Amino acid sequence: MMKVIGFDNQKKFLIKNYLNNKLPHSIILSGDKGIGKKTFIIDFFGSIFNELFDNNNLKQHLNLIKNNTHPNIKYISNLVDKKTNKTKSQITIDQIRQLNSFLNETSVYENISKFLIIDNADSLNVSASNSLLKNLEEPKKNTYFFLIVHKLSYLLPTIRSRCLKLRFNKHDFNTFKLIITKQLNIVNENEILFLYDLSNGSPGIAINIYDEELVGFYDQILFFFHQNKIYHADQINFSKKISLYDDEKFKIFLFVLKNILINIIKIKVNINFNYNTNNKYDKKLTNISSYISKNSLFNKFEYLIKNENDLFTYNLDKNLFMLNFFSK
């Protein structure tokens, strides 16, 4: 089972309060996508089971957790549409209703708490949110809810008010480097630094960027910014290609795009950008910043922020979305 790196204070807090029967029944884990929140909570289960069982029993429980088959742990996230093979944008009320069966079942491990993980809880639709709220208002004894969210504001205020909130901030570079070098075959410091900036310190995003070869689009995006033309043939072809991504991969692409914009804006307004003269990517960003206006940068960034959620909620045209972005 993967061991989490970092977030020691959050882990110590949860373990101490759980073992002392002081842990709140509902906890929100918020932070950027790919920062390691799900890995953290799975590692937390392993840690508390380590405190509760001897080696023989512990191995059995850890294997069940690893295979996502532990009878005392229920995991819910966005389902995959069988017809389109795409991840659905919302968690539905039917999924939340399944929790009631889980909560009412008698487990073979009655002496262990029941844990419910709702990943991407900020994608709960309204009906699902209201159904979940009933469980949070009247939690069953020895039951704990963990809501993993990327955008805390997307949760209903009534849900937020009933949960303890734990914040997971971006990793510092040394921690990020330690995680990445374990997961990827990268030893070049500048390449790791580039991934750190592009992923905003999120190892999960960085691994996906590297695996999906999204790094290869970096130069192309900068070329479009430098070109500063509307509906150029290259932009049209690029938009068509990107529009074929499924929602999850497209979200990663948009994450990368936003961080490129943020870094160029930082250079443009001369704030909080750690320029590395030996990093070819930093040189390119600095060069681009002299060709594109602040208004264009802010308009592009504002467009992404305002329209990204609607794009996935209403299954809008990704190709048109990108062409509109380039026109700003």
**DSSP-derived secondary structure for 292-317:** S-HHHHHHHHHHHHHHHHHHHHTT--
Pair 27, 163: CB distance under 8 Å: yes
The pTM score is 0.84
pLDDT (tens, 9 = 90+) of the chain, 328 residues, equals 567 889 999 999 999 999 999 999 999 999 998 999 999 999 999 999 998 888 778 888 888 988 889 999 999 999 988 887 778 889 999 999 988 889 888 887 888 899 999 999 999 999 999 999 999 999 988 999 999 999 999 999 999 999 999 999 999 999 999 999 988 888 888 888 888 888 889 999 898 888 666 677 788 888 888 777 777 788 899 999 999 988 888 988 898 899 889 889 988 888 766 655 556 677 788 888 888 889 999 999 999 999 998 998 888 999 999 999 998 8
Pair 136, 24: CB distance under 8 Å: no
pLDDT for 165 equals 97
pLDDT for 248 equals 81
Angle formed at CA 35 by CA 225 and CA 145, multiple of 5 degrees: 135
- Coil, strand or helix at 152: helix
First and final C-alpha spacing in the chain: 46
pLDDT for 29 equals 98
Q: Tell me, which fold does domain 8-168 have in CATH?
A: Rossmann fold (3.40.50)
pLDDT for 213 equals 64
d(CA 324, CA 327): 5
pLDDT for 273 equals 60
**CB-CB neighbours of 313 under 10 Å:** 12
Pair 161, 169: CB distance under 8 Å: no
d(CA 65, CA 292): 50
Would you state the torsion angle of the CA atoms of residues 39, 61, 67, 211, taken in this order, to the nearest 10 degrees? 30
Burial of 84 (0-12, 13-18, 19+ CB in 10 A): exposed
Domain residue ranges in the chain = 8-168, 212-327
Residue 46 identity: G
pLDDT for 274 equals 61
pLDDT for 316 equals 92
d(CA 328, CA 319): 15
* 89 contacts: CB under 8 Å, gap ≥ 6: 78, 123, 247, 312, 313, 315
Pair 162, 135: CB distance under 8 Å: no
- For residue 244, the 8-state DSSP code is T
d(CA 198, CA 150): 17
pLDDT for 275 equals 54
Residue 142 phi, psi dihedral angles, 5° rounding? 60, 35
